[in-house]
Structure 1
Amino acid sequence: MWLFETREDDDGLPGPERLLAVLALVSGTLMSVVDTTMINLALPSIAADLEVASADVVWVTTIFQVVSAAFLLVFAGLSELVTRRRIYLFGLSTFVLAALGSALSRQLELLLVFRALQGLGAAATLSIGASLYRLIFPSRLLGSALGLSALVVGGGYAAGPTLSGVMLSFTHWPWLFALNVPLGVVSLLLAYRALPREAPRQGSFDVPGALLSMLTLAGLFLTMDAIGHRAPLWQWAGLGAVALAGGTAFIRRQRRAAYPLLPLYLFGERRFTLAVSASGLAFIGQGLAFVALSFLYQEKMGLSPLLTAWLFTPWPLALMVVGPLAGRLADRVNPSVLSTTGLALVIAGFVALALVDKNTGIVGSLWRVALCGLGFGLFQPPNNREMMASLPAARSANVSGVMSTTRTVGQSLGVALVGAVLALGLAVQVTLWLGAVSALLSLVVSAARIPLARRAMQARASSTVA
């Protein structure tokens, strides 16, 4: 396969070693994504079995997300000191052991402890996933590698609900967690065998910066979760104040730290800053759509939860098909043009969904969701390539951490916007119009970097000829 062919001037791993390393990354990422989507569907079963309220069992998902979001930048920074290989192995081991603990838990409090540990493990693996692709693959295949990552994530989102539904039809919810154990052991063995070793960076770790980062991201996530669940004003305003104070102190710390957790000079590169901004705005739209469509299909169109879940599948399926192709194409043509074109399709999809009514029908809903997935598949891998390629490879761990954090915060903000719109008593279609606006802003940002990416490609071509 062309992804694993080796040329004499290639950086990264040789072809056969590259294949094993990719299998380790694919299996680990797939496990984390599928786990998240599977457990969401199982929450009612968990609540009934443990005899707890539905409002309480939601924390099985929330605590996983809060811990994962809080530690993304921390693990990305720490990986420079202890190497990405060790961070990934730690994360995978923690995730698998915590999955076993979750499967054996028979009290909500104990289950929440293990879910928090699973979130910690997921943060360690996801925070450096993109940078490991850059370490493993040669630069000429970076877009293709990130397209492969999009394929894996899309496949996980598509398979998770279906797999969960099938398993819950034949067995109990603990088996959803137990499934991760044998898969995780195989992934761990592959990672131990295949992930490249590298020399750690000399210097110290920014402990104050890490603590402030955790405070900021956890506070921000809890604020958005409180808004999404229509919590009282004092609750989410207080959490927001904590996040704002933590973020302000974090930025001040990064400016004077000898070894900052997140070097702020990275954002001096316009291609990187614009790509991050485009990503955040696009993921606001995605997070918003995933929640809004549930209300639209079930409350406005009167569809069942199972049919609603099925109507979501064109999005990740389109992403699976288009993502790898867009990634490969981004290695040859201007990736910003591809991303901008994809965002135009996303906007069209959001507008079409906002016009859905009870007479639209199944087919009419399917093509609208597929259009969003098609656009997102064309946007995401080229945009991720721009983020990774705009900065030196030595900074890829930081870039990967920013990429993961931007995605998580953007999706969470989208969910919070849905809650705010519904709390105001507005129609759910309003949220989809907001998604279109968010995608439009992302398009404007993405289009602004087309000349910058063109000049970078010309410079790269000139250096290759020289």
Structure 2
Amino acid sequence: MTAPPPAARSPAQDGLPVPRRYWAIVSIGLGITLAVLDGAIANVALPSIAHDLQASEAASIWVVNAYQIAIVVSLLPLASLGEIVGYRRVSQAGLAVFTVASIGCVMADSIASLSLARVIQGFGAAGIMSVNGALVRFTYPQRMLGRAVGINAVIVSLAAAAGPTIAGAILSVGHWRWLFALNIPIGLLAVSMAGFTLPHNPLQKRRLNWTGAALNAAAFGLVITGMQALAHGEASALGFGLVGAGLAAGVLLVRRERTRAAPLIPLDLLARPMFALSVATSVISFTAQMMAFVALPFFLQGSLGLSAVETGLLMTPWPLATMVAAPLAGWLSDRYSAGVLGAIGLSLFACGLMALSFLEADSSSFDVIWRMAVCGAGFGFFQSPNNRAMLSEAPRERAGAAGGSLGTARVLGQSMGAVVVAFLLAAAPQTGVRHGFQIAAVAALFGAVMSGSRIRRQAAEPDKEVEAV
């Protein structure tokens, strides 16, 4: 089977024609798989990396933190750049940077050089993630957007779930450097495919806002770094100082951007109640999800006495259920309100999280499995309609900002969830995990209420989504 030629695309065209559409979604899927997978595989290898590079466990954590922080500080600036130079170029450049940085990870001879390579790799991943949603929107016809978002959610869920398994399999037979070497052939394939499959988009005649980008990086980077420092028991003065400096940078950023026509922080989109509610609900849901994901290994291995292999197997029903629910919810979101579907999904998610908190030391594997499946199904049923609502609420020329907001909400929520669990474990080592499930359940239920509030607004503004498309 041969790939289609790079046919020209009219900016007004509603999606790509078949079969180029299929090639484009494969290319998009390869890129987001690399970005998400590398956020999961390094965690498993940290003990091996620390031992091989003669570094402390605390220092080795920066292999993970450097990647996450680089992503969160650059998502919105790169999404804005996509509106200026094209989403395809940003994605292709991100793939290239990611692949080259993977070579740097393979060749690293110290924890400092590995962390630096991970920073560069994070910037490449941000290039991929920042325009992922926008590329999906321009690849599929509007009538199929929900279905497309559902497929994308399945890819993300599968990559996140497969990360620990792939890492464990590779480490059982080879060196940790092979975890990063695996990216190189896949990255080269994705870069080559992106050049002739990904869609074009109308370009905006403006320059990248470098001052806004610097303030954005300071705001997100300092706040998250400060919260992590506080959560891990480091110097309180340093942690609070970093958080305060980040909040100050955020205030300056908002004051500077609020008068701009296309602000780096998408204040123009956040002024739309439906978009703002979708973003807030996304942050809350990903906070709850990450709280559960971080707490589960501690609970299953500490309270239930399971091995690491058993823990991985018992956590598998969560992503499997998400993979089933996400495309179904995406298909339904092309026909029904995202507010209704999201409220149903997060309510189910909250029930699953609360059920996890009732597990006891003598609970059976089936007791764990069905609770995991309920959590995964609920989260998947929420995620696709909510992502579709965010993308479709924005005008086509601001699809990049909408996609960047989608990625930022995810990473920000996940970072907050990990920090909350770290605080709980430090404050109450015995009961902190159980409280984490309960707090996550309350957060998911609050998100369900927020999602449901969109129903009334959507009824009051029935034509707004059509006008935005």
TM-score range, shorter chain: over 0.9
Q: Which residue of 2 aligns with 1:170?
A: 173
Residue in 2 that maps onto 1:443: 448
User: Contact between 1:134 and 1:142, CA under 8 Å: does it hold in 2?
Assistant: yes
* Aligned equivalent of 1:5: none
In the alignment, which of 245, 248, 269 is matched to residue 245 of structure 1?
248
Whole-angstrom CA distance in 1 between matches of 2:281 and 2:465: 23
User: Which runs of structure 2 are paired with 1:101-112 in the superposition (5 Å)?
Assistant: 101-112=104-115
Q: Is the 8 A contact 2:161 2:316 kept in 1?
A: yes
Partner Cα separation in structure 2 for residue 463 and residue 240 of structure 1: 36
Aligned residue pair count: 456
Q: Which of 15, 20, 45 in structure 1 is aligned with 2:18?
A: 15
Q: CA RMSD in A?
A: 1.9
Q: Does 1:310 align with 2:313?
A: yes
Unaligned 5+ segments in structure 2 are: 1-11
Report the 3-state secondary structure (helix = DSSP H, G, I; strand = E; otherwise coil) of the residue aligned with 1:333.
Answer: coil
1:425 corresponding residue in structure 2: 428
d(CA) in 2 for partners of 1:93 and 1:445?
A: 39
Q: TM-score, normalised by structure 1?
A: 0.94
Residue identity matched to 1:236: G
In 1, Cα distance between equivalents of 2:468 and 2:208: 36
Superposed CA deviations along residues 241-296 of structure 1, whole A, max 9, x for unmatched, are 01111111110110234652124121221111111111111111011111111211
Most deviating of 262-271 and 124-133? 262-271
Q: Does 1:53 align with 2:59?
A: no
CA distance in structure 2 between the partners assigned to 1:463 and 1:110 by the alignment? 46
Deviation at 1:170, TM superposition (A): 0.9
Contact persistence 1:81–1:202 (CA under 8 A): yes
Identity of aligned residues (%): 38
Of 173, 188, 204, the residue aligned with 2:207 is 204
Question: For the residues of structure 1 that align with 2:274 and 2:238, how far apart are their CA atoms?
Answer: 37
2:282 to 260, 272, 279: 279
Partner of 1:414: 417
Q: 1:62 aligns with which of 56, 65, 74?
A: 65
Whether the aligned pair in 2 keeps the contact of 1:164 and 1:176 (CA below 8 Å) is: yes
Query: Distance between the aligned counterparts of 1:229 and 1:305, measured in 2?
Result: 23
Alpha-carbon separation, structure 1, partners of 2:264 and 2:373: 39
> What is residue 147 of structure 2 aligned with on the other side?
144
Task: Note if contact 1:280-1:410 (Cα within 8 Å) is conserved in structure 2.
Answer: yes
Whole-Å Cα distance in 1 between the matches of residues 468 and 423 of structure 2? 51
1:347 to 2:350 alignment: yes
| Contact 1:334–1:454 (Cα < 8 Å) also in 2 | no
Instruction: Note closer, same or farther for the CA distance 1:462–1:100 as it changes in structure 2 (3 Å cut).
Output: closer
Letter in 2 for 1:200: L
Change (3 A) 1:460 1:262: closer
What residue number does 2:6 align with? none
> What per-residue deviation string (whole Å, max 9, x for no partner) do you get for residues 325-350 of structure 1?
11011101222211110011011011
**How far apart are the structure 1 equivalents of 2:371 and 2:262?**
47
For residue 214 of structure 1, what is the aligned residue in structure 2? 217
TM-score for the superposition, normalised by structure 2: 0.94
CA–CA distance in structure 1, aligned partners of residues 307 and 267 of structure 2: 48
SS at match of 1:197: coil
- Contact kept, 8 Å, 1:227 with 1:419, in 2: the verdict is no
Residues 262 and 460 of structure 1: CA distance in aligned 2, closer, same or farther (over 3 Å) = closer
Structure 1 gaps, min length 5: 1-8
TM superposition shift of 1:232: 3.1
1:359: how far off?
Answer: 1.2
CA contact (8 A) 1:205 1:259 kept: no
Q: Distance in 1 between matches of 2:453 and 2:371?
A: 27
Moved more, 28-37 or 206-215: 28-37
Per the alignment, residue 386 of structure 2 pairs with: 383
1:356 deviates by 1.1
Moved more, 163-172 or 226-235: 226-235
**Could you tell me which residue of structure 2 aligns to residue 337 of structure 1?**
340
Note the alpha carbon deviations across 1:105-162, whole angstroms, 9 max, x for none: 1222211111111000001110110011001111101111100111101111221111
Q: Which moved further from structure 2: 131-140 or 195-204?
A: 195-204
Q: Render the CA deviation track for 1:352-406: whole Å, top value 9, x for unaligned.
A: 0111110112111111111110000100000111111122111111111111111
Counterpart-to-counterpart distance in 2, 1:329 and 1:153 = 19
Q: Where do 1:253-332 residues align within 5 Å?
A: 253-257=256-260, 259-332=262-335
Per-residue deviation, 1:94: 0.2
